Amino acid sequence: MTMPSPVKNLTEQFGPIDIYLFDQLLKGRIAPGMRILDAGCGYGRNLVYLLREGYEVFGADADAGAIAGVRELAGALAPGLPPGNFRHERLEDLSFPADFADVVISSAVLHFARDTAHFRAMLIGSWSALRPGGLFFCRLASSIGIEHHIRQTGERRFLLPDGSERYLVDEESLMALTADLGGSLADPLKTTVVQNQRSMTTWVLHKSLAK
Asked if residues 197 and 141 have their Cβ atoms less than 8 Å apart, the reply is no
Instruction: Read off the pLDDT band of 201 (50, 70, 90).
Output: very high
Q: What is the pLDDT, as a whole number, of residue 176?
A: 98
Q: What is the CA radius of gyration of the chain?
A: 18
Class of domain 13-207: alpha beta
Return the closest-CA partner of residue 167 out of 89, 124, 108.
108
Q: Is the pLDDT of residue 3 over 60?
A: no
Burial code of 83-119, b = ≥16 C-beta within 10 A, e = fewer?
eebbbeeebbebebeeebbbbbbbbbbbbbbeeeebb
Over the stretch 99-154, which tens digit does the pLDDT of each residue have? 999 999 999 999 999 999 999 999 999 999 999 999 999 999 999 999 999 999 99
CB 137 within 8 A of CB 106: yes
Q: How confident is the model at residue 184, as a pLDDT?
A: 98
The pTM for the full model equals 0.93
What pLDDT score does 198 carry? 96
Long-range CB contacts (within 8 A, 24+) of 190-194: 190/20, 191/142, 191/144, 191/145, 193/144, 193/145, 193/146, 194/162
pLDDT at 4 over 50: no
